[in-house]
Amino acid sequence: MPVQKNTQLKGKIKLAFFVAIIGVTLTVLGMGTEFWAELSQPKTLSGNQTCQMAHYGLWKGCIRTLWVSDIDPERTSCGPPELPGESNCTYFKFFTSGENAVIFKKTTNRNLNLAAAVLALLSLTMMVMGSICIGMSLSKGVSFFLKPAAFCFILSVLIFHQSVLALLSSDHSIPTSHKLSWSVACVGSAGAILIFAGILFILLSLPYSPWQKQADAQPP
C-alpha cells in the first residue's frame, strides 16, 4: 500500500510539474518576442499606397511599412503586423546607453520599461528555481517560488501597460491607435497557469490528502 501511494504521489508531482513547465514555456515565449504592444497609424495618413505601424516588447521594437491595398477595407488603421511588408527593427538602447526610444515621434518612458523588464527577469528566475526544486524533490518551498513569480509577471504586464500609455501621451502630433498583443496574452496565461501549479504543489506537499482524509472519515 505505501508503495502504491508513493507511485500515485509521483504521478501527481509529474502532472503538476508538466503544468508548471507550460507556464515557464509561455513566459519565455512572451519575454522573447516583440509583440507586447501594437501602435497603428491611420492607413490614409500619408495619402499614398503604404502606411506604417509599430510593435514592440521589453527589448526590441519594429516599425513595419505595409501596403494599404492588403489591409481590410473596414479597418481604419494600419495593420495587422502579419501582413507582408518591410520591417525595420532595433533593440532599445535604454538597457545599454540609457537612451529613450522614439516611435512615431513619441518617446518611451525608460524607467517604466526597465521596471517591467526587471520584474519579468525576476519572475523568470523564480520560475526556473521552482522548476529545479520540483525536479529534485517535493517541497513546500516550491510554491514559494511559483506564486511570487506569477504575481511578479502580472505586475510587469501592468507596469508595461502604463509605459504604453506614457508613450502615447508624450506626443499627439501623429494620431495612433494601440492594443496589447499576443505576447502579453502569453505572459498573462503563464501567470494564471503558475498560480494553478502553485496551488497544486501546496496540496501535494500537505502531510495528508484532504480528499483521502474526508473519505476515511466517512463510515463504511
Amino acid at 8: Q
CA angle 86, 64, 76 (to 5 degrees): 125
Query: Which of 2-11, 85-94, 127-136 shows the lowest per-residue confidence on average (mean pLDDT)?
Result: 2-11
The three grid cell numbers given for residue 33, joined into one nine-digit string: 518576442
Report how many domains make up the chain.
1
Beta bridge partners of 65: 52, 86
Within a domain: residue 220? no
Domain that holds residue 6: 2-206
User: Per-residue pLDDT tens for 67-113?
Assistant: 999 999 899 899 899 999 999 999 888 777 778 888 888 888 888 88
Within a domain: residue 25? yes
How many helical (H) and strand (E) elements, i.e. helices and strands, does the chain have? 5, 7
How do the residues of the chain divide into helix, strand and coil, expressed in percent and rounded to 5? 55, 15, 25
Residue 215 — very low, low, confident or very high, per pLDDT cuts 50/70/90?
A: very low
Within a domain: residue 98? yes
- Predicted confidence at residue 46, as pLDDT, reads 78
Within a domain: residue 147? yes
- Predicted confidence at residue 211, as pLDDT, reads 46
Q: Judge whether residue 137 has pLDDT over 60.
A: no
| Rg, Å, the chain Cα set | 23
pTM of the model: 0.71
Closest CA to 198 of 154, 153, 139: 139
CATH code for position 148: 1.20.140.150
% of the chain at pLDDT higher than 90 = 15
- Predicted confidence at residue 193, as pLDDT, reads 81
User: Per-residue pLDDT tens for 195-210?
Assistant: 787 777 667 666 555 4
Q: How many Å apart are CA 64 and CA 40, to the nearest integer?
A: 10
Buried b (16+ CB within 10 A) or exposed e, 1-34: eeeeeeeeeeebbeebbebbbbbbebbbebbebb
Across the chain, mean pLDDT equals 77
Within a domain: residue 134? yes
Q: Judge whether residue 186 has pLDDT over 90.
A: no
Within a domain: residue 219? no
